[in-house]
Amino acid sequence: MRALLVVNPAATTTSARTRDVLFHALASDLKLDVVTTEYRGHARDLARRAVDGGTHELVVALGGDGTVNEVVNGLLHHGPAPRELPRLAVVPGGSTNVFARALGLPNDAVEATGALLDALRDGTERTVGLGLAAGTPGTPDESVPARWFTFCAGLGFDASVIGRVEQQRERGKRSTHALYIRQMVRQFIGEPHRRQGAITIRRPGQDPVEGLALSIVCNTSPWTFLGNRPVYASPQASFDTALDVLGLTKLSTSAVTRYATQLLMSTPERGPRGKHVVGLHDVEDFTLQSQAPLPFQMDGDHLGLRTSVTFTGVRRALRVIV
2-123 homologous superfamily: Probable inorganic polyphosphate/atp-NAD kinase; domain 1 (3.40.50.10330)
For residue 40, what are the contacts with CB-CB under 8 A and spacing of at least 6? none
Confidence of residue 5 (pLDDT cuts 50, 70, 90): very high
For residue 87, what are the contacts with CB-CB under 8 A and spacing of at least 6? 57, 58, 59, 125, 318, 319, 320, 321
Higher pLDDT, 188 or 305: 305
Domain 131-316 CATH assignment equals 3.40.50.720:
no
Confidence of residue 250 (pLDDT cuts 50, 70, 90): confident
CA separation for the pair 282, 178 (Å, rounded): 32
12-71 pLDDT, tens digit each: 888 889 999 999 999 999 999 999 999 999 999 999 999 999 999 999 999 999 999 999
103-126 pLDDT, tens digit each: 999 999 999 999 999 999 999 999
Average of per-residue pLDDT values in the chain: 93
**φ, ψ for residue 193 (rounded to 5)?**
-115, 30
Please state the pTM of the whole predicted model: 0.93
- Residue length of the chain: 322
CA separation for the pair 113, 233 (Å, rounded): 29
Average pLDDT rounded to a whole number, residues 232-251: 96
Domain boundaries in the chain? 2-123, 131-316
74-113 pLDDT, tens digit each: 999 999 999 999 999 999 999 889 999 999 999 999 999 9
- The confidence score (pLDDT) of residue 203 equals 97
- The confidence score (pLDDT) of residue 100 equals 97
Q: Is pLDDT above 70 for 193?
A: no
